Structure 1
Amino acid sequence: MSPISSKLLLFLIIPFVFLSKEANKRHPFHVSTTEITHNAKNKSLEITCRIFTDDFENVLSKQFKTKTDLYAKNKEKEMNALIESYIETNLKFTVDGKAAKYNYLGFENDHEATNVYLEIGNVPVFKTLTVYNGVLYDLFDDQMNILHVEKSGKRKSTKTSFPEKKMSVAF
């Protein structure tokens, strides 16, 4: 499949995967997306990871051997700690070949998905961004992770499938 056809397919499938009411009952795709926007004014990378909530709860329960409930407001502090630890282990960033540390900002639920918010500061400009994404690889061997990066109005996308973790975009 050509790269253009592949990208078109991803843009057509993803909204249905996340918005379908049937997806909550039995989503046939194991997919997460990571959206990164370069904020030139704040000199930062604003990151949103979107993960199916049921899958995310399952992997957190499995890894940390505890009951999870990402919808329970009274467990929000505990869930934040689990999510931050999981993301720290399974998501790494390099900007222009240098490891980049991010700040974990929190999470929120959006229909059947959980959005995890991160930010990498002190990025006035960049040419290449590499993401090592193993989110949900410890749960599914058919997991696909998609990356969308926006910089100066230009958007680039790529994907990986289990067991590959490395994704890069260059501007």
Structure 2
Amino acid sequence: MNLARVSSGAFGFLLLSLSTIIYAHPLRLSLSQIEYEAAEKSLSITLRLFLTDVNEALVFDPYSTQLSFCQANEAPEADSLLLEYLAQFFYVVVNGETVALEIERKELSGQGDNTALGVTFVSYRAEELVSLEIKNAVFTDLFFDQSNIVYVYKNGNPTSLMLNKSTPIHKLEF
């Protein structure tokens, strides 16, 4: 498997870049952060996606205000459409069991074309994290050059991956 590794130091830079939107879109990039904390028995999954890409994937119009994520007039179907899309292109399997994705919180950052939608999921796990399989192929159905950077932290120890159309899945053993 040809898998490009990204240094953990790049995480801070890339997360800052996406959250403060230093880069001008159309950068074809998503960021995912998966954190496992044994003491809390929790697995936190955060996705940061450009809002124009989300709209393109869900309603086929990058500038649509139909779903209005994180706004007072957010469409009732916004979360279900997002989860339906993610079910096709994103999953996390812990110790052989697929993690149910239930949105804990969402937030917007940035402006205009550079607005990012942050979505967080949390799962509480009784067992120790032994293996983790990640599929992140979000937006690879739309953009041939889409890259999805995944940062995995187990008890503070980082691992970085870059997934794309040709390498959408990776499995880690701890």
Q: TM-score, normalised by structure 1?
A: 0.79
**What is the CA–CA distance in structure 2 between the aligned matches of 1:84 and 1:5, rounded to whole Å?**
28
| 40-49 vs 11-20, which moves further | 11-20
Q: Which residue of 2 aligns with 1:36?
A: 34
Q: Is the 8 A contact 1:59 1:136 kept in 2?
A: yes
Alignment of 1:22-101 (within 5 A): 23=23, 26-62=24-60, 67-101=66-100
The CA deviation string for residues 131-152 of structure 1, in whole angstroms up to 9 with x for no partner, is 1111111211100011111112
Post-superposition shift, 1:82? 1.6
1:163 aligns with 2:150: no
Shift of the 22–40 alpha-carbon distance from structure 1 to 2, 3 Å rule, reads closer
Higher normalized contact order (CA 8 Å, seq sep 6+, divided by chain length): 2
Q: 3-state DSSP class of the match of 1:102?
A: coil
CA-to-partner distance for each residue in 1:58-87, whole Å, 9 max, x for gaps? 211129x99333253212533222212222
The letter for the 2-side match of 1:118 is: F
Letter in 1 for 2:41: K
Alpha-carbon displacement from aligned partner over 1:90-110 (angstroms, at most 9, x marks no partner): 211211233333333242112
Aligned residues: 166
| SS of match in other structure, 2:59 | helix
- For the 8 Å contact 1:34–1:49, the answer to whether it is kept is yes
Q: Is the 8 A contact 1:30 1:144 kept in 2?
A: yes
Q: Tell me: CA distance 1:131–1:5, structure 2 relative to 1, closer, same or farther (3 Å).
A: closer
On the 8 A contact 1:57/1:70 being kept in 2, the answer is no
Shift of 1:19: 4.6
TM-score (norm 2): 0.78
* Shift in alpha-carbon separation, 1:12–1:36, aligned structure 2, 3 A: closer
Look up the equivalent residue of 1:34 and give its one-letter code.
S
1:121 aligned residue (105, 121, 124): 124
Tell me the distance in 1 between the aligned counterparts of 2:69 and 2:127: 34
Equivalent residue, structure 1, for 2:14: 14
In the alignment, structure 2 segments of 5+ residues that lack a partner are none
Matched residue type, 1:95:
V
Change (3 A) 1:10 1:46: same
What residue ranges of structure 1 are gaps of 5+ in the alignment? none
